[in-house]
Structure 1
């Protein structure tokens, strides 16, 4: 089965969005529509708007109309929505009135019970540059937005939106993956990872940060382990690590300390996603990592580098 994803991001997020795409699908696109055989829950990404699980394709709308006549929904109510394709030229776009008419006509061709308010099954139809598609539709839920309202916050912490993308970059496939955030701060990355069902543990050298992380996780009903521990004391083996390099405005780590942190991570993690406000490529390479991909996360004039290492 093929899946079609629609995307939306701010201009400042474009590079980060593309890195997340490459992590999920192995490629990126400047298009607002991406097609892949890989199935991703759209709610995982802060950039995906919806996913269509393609059932029918056609060169024209009439092809879809003919095909949906064979569709029978016997055990649930349904609704058909038309999804806008922002990639289309203005001359190819479908007006609001036309979209409503198409939704109604397609819905009438499907055998089953329509519920326009609270349907149990949602179908999507979309016009592309090369034809039309129809299939089950799953809308993204902005889970990360809810996590902004945590009781403990740091002004220098990652935004929940960026943290969610960073987690996806580190862990595109969540199954049977062990992850660590050894500089977890107040737990922003931990919360995003736990909300996706990822097996993750956290640690920090700051006791107040560790306490704040535990409080924040409990506030959202998540159970996770946060240890008071230096990254150099981490034991065990992990499939991936997320390291937001400490950089508090009043205390920037010396290069020697940063190198020790990275060398420690090299011992316990196969893959590391590093978030840094400084250029530390030479330190990453000295620690024995190979940089395999990278991006930036911008917020106005403030820029963080997101570096994928193996």
Structure 2
């Protein structure tokens, strides 16, 4: 087995200040979600993200994003597997069982791809150097080994638990509501760092955005002008064991100020809302929040700018022939 496999250097993989990243992430998305995924990751990590995997010193829970697949909290790094093997002899388990996973998503060129048998050999080589009991089925500790940018990284392994799947099955729903994945990404765009942030969904509908935000521990409240729809949001929130306030009324009546908002604009295709009413929603969103993600079936640039916003990032989320525009506005 060759244990000094190199991959070609990728200048985009790490920035100069992240040559020794604290975390390695992997991610994946469909073609229809590529624009949505790229914008969400830009918001979470404050930079353009290269394909497949990347290093960062920003800590994001692996299960926050619908696109992040894995995170390794880097303990050791080296230019060769021999360096990793030597360093992993220092791992202390405290009597706990462990497992080592070779992370398949990497930036190796196709001709340098590491096949299944070699991946298992690398896992075993590391496992033999860690003093303790291995348990491949129910380990108490899981470690990951990954190659990126010509270097190797080893550390604690976290897999995305895809918690939003359970939230797709809401007791109250309607056909034009945001998909769970789009809603979750929109929340991450609006609130990349939840610490101390107060958020609002002032046109919350059945609460899809609120449920995703609450599942990530984000402090969010909701409001809707339709009493039946607002009641549905409360039902959905309670169904998943979350607690939050959903008030009844127009966005124009909101007096409090928030750090962030997600505004899923009512659509002319499905409601009787006029352009003037849409503009009023935007003006009030500008008034009540500092950072706003606007979701709409069209770009709405002229109206958004007229409301006093600057669009600082944007993407399009596609589902078949239907598209939604997501615009980050300050």
Alignment TM-score, normalising by the size of structure 2:
0.91
- Partner in structure 1 of residue 159 of structure 2: 139
* Partner Cα distance (1:254, 1:63) in 2: 65
Alignment partner of 1:159 is 2:173: no
Equivalent of residue 259 in structure 1, options 279, 295, 299: 279
Alignment partner of 1:172 is 2:200: no
- Partner in structure 2 of residue 288 of structure 1: 308
* Partner Cα distance (1:295, 1:38) in 2: 22
* Partner Cα distance (2:91, 2:27) in 1: 28
* Partner Cα distance (1:195, 1:291) in 2: 27
* Partner Cα distance (2:123, 2:214) in 1: 37
**Is residue 167–residue 192 contact of structure 1 (8 Å, CA) maintained in 2?**
yes
Alignment partner of 1:117 is 2:147: no
The count of corresponding residues between Structure 1 and Structure 2 is 310
- Partner in structure 1 of residue 5 of structure 2: none
* Partner Cα distance (1:87, 1:205) in 2: 49
Of 190-199 and 90-99, the range deviating more from structure 2: 90-99
**Is residue 85–residue 128 contact of structure 1 (8 Å, CA) maintained in 2?**
no
Which structure: greater strand fraction? 1
Q: Where does 1:212-223 land on structure 2 (aligned, <5 Å)?
A: 212-223=232-243
Secondary structure at the aligned position of 1:28 is classed as: coil
**Is residue 106–residue 146 contact of structure 2 (8 Å, CA) maintained in 1?**
no
**Is residue 241–residue 273 contact of structure 1 (8 Å, CA) maintained in 2?**
yes
1:33 is displaced (CA, Å) by 0.5
**Is residue 156–residue 248 contact of structure 1 (8 Å, CA) maintained in 2?**
no
Using a 3 Å threshold, how does the CA distance of structure 1 residues 252 and 57 change in structure 2: closer, same or farther? Answer: farther
Alignment partner of 1:18 is 2:47: no
* Partner Cα distance (1:176, 1:18) in 2: 25
- Partner in structure 2 of residue 227 of structure 1: 247
* Partner Cα distance (1:211, 1:255) in 2: 26
Q: What are the superposed Cα offsets for residues 203-226 of structure 1, whole Å, 9 maximum, x if unpaired?
A: 101111111111111111111111
- Partner in structure 2 of residue 68 of structure 1: 88
Equivalent of residue 266 in structure 2, options 235, 242, 246: 246
Structure 2, unpaired ranges of 5+: 1-20
Structure 1, unpaired ranges of 5+: none
Alignment partner of 1:58 is 2:78: yes
Equivalent of residue 169 in structure 2, options 140, 146, 149: 149
1:3 is displaced (CA, Å) by 0.5
Equivalent of residue 291 in structure 2, options 256, 271, 274: 271
1:133 is displaced (CA, Å) by 1.0
1:253 is displaced (CA, Å) by 2.5
* Partner Cα distance (1:142, 1:2) in 2: 23
Deviating beyond 4 angstroms after TM superposition, the runs of 4 or more aligned structure 1 residues are none
